[in-house]
Amino acid sequence: MLALPEPGSKRMSLPCTSLTASGRVSATRRTFTSTPLLLPKVSQAVIPLSVNQWGQRINPLHPPGVKRRTVSLETFAAHHHNQQRAVVMRQKEYNRYHQSWQRPFYGSVAEKEEYRREIRQLLKWQMSQQRESQRYALFNRAKEGEAAREAERQATLQDLEKQIARSRFLQAFRDENKKLMEIQWKEKRLAKSLDSLRERELLQYNPINWSCTLK
């Protein structure tokens, strides 16, 4: 049988009892011993939820205080401890949920005033957070506007540089074409003057010009 914990004790322990394997025909009798379990105490649900006093969940196959894990250590005490722990946690969550709205309606004058003070502090905190968010948003918008203006200025400068480079290229192209045209005109004038000299020389040898090819 399980040994019940004494009032005020923090741990639940099981006595070391001997288990005898029974059989119809057995030459040797084997004896097994159950290891005592040292389970932590589960606090009551009246303790505030912020105080974590229910401890960690116990592994039924490897309870605390035992070095070696074995299936024989799985007892009702470990499962009962885990079940009580879950019940206490649910009770604390239930109390926390209902205590949040019981104070402003059914609490004392001090509790109601404390609730109002908490609400005022919460509103102040929300207002400060809203101001900070608005300030941050305004700062971001100003920064984005400045970045947009800078990008526009850079784009304008790039366009201006492209226009200047294009105008310079077109001017150089125009100057080269002008030089080529002047060279062609000069060559044409020179060729025309040479033709005129040659025709005058031919007219000296044949002044009649029966074919009318000379001028």
Residue 84 lies in a domain: yes
| 1 falls within a domain | no
Q: Tell me whether residue 136 is in a domain.
A: no
Question: Based on the structure, what is the number of domains in the chain?
Answer: 1
Model pTM above 0.85:
no
Question: Would 207 be classed as within a structural domain?
Answer: no
Q: What is the pLDDT along the chain (215 residues), one digit of tens a residue?
A: 444 444 444 444 444 444 444 444 444 555 444 444 455 555 554 555 444 556 778 777 776 776 676 666 667 777 888 888 888 888 888 887 877 777 788 888 888 899 899 999 999 999 999 999 999 999 999 999 999 999 999 999 999 999 999 999 999 999 999 999 999 999 999 999 998 888 778 777 766 665 666 55
User: What are the tokens at 51?
Assistant: 């105080």
For residue 167, is it within any domain? no
Q: Does residue 176 fall inside a structural domain?
A: no
Q: Which domain holds residue 85?
A: 11-106
Q: Around Cβ 39, how many Cβ atoms within 10 Å?
A: 23
Q: How far apart are CA 193 and CA 187, in angstroms?
A: 10
Q: How far apart are CA 70 and CA 126, in angstroms?
A: 55
Residue where the block lists tokens 């029974």: 22
Sign of the C-alpha dihedral, residues 125, 128, 134, 140? negative
- Tokens representing 163 are 């226009």
How far is it, in rounded angstroms, from Cα 211 to Cα 191? 22
Q: β-strands 18-20, 11-12: how paired?
A: unpaired
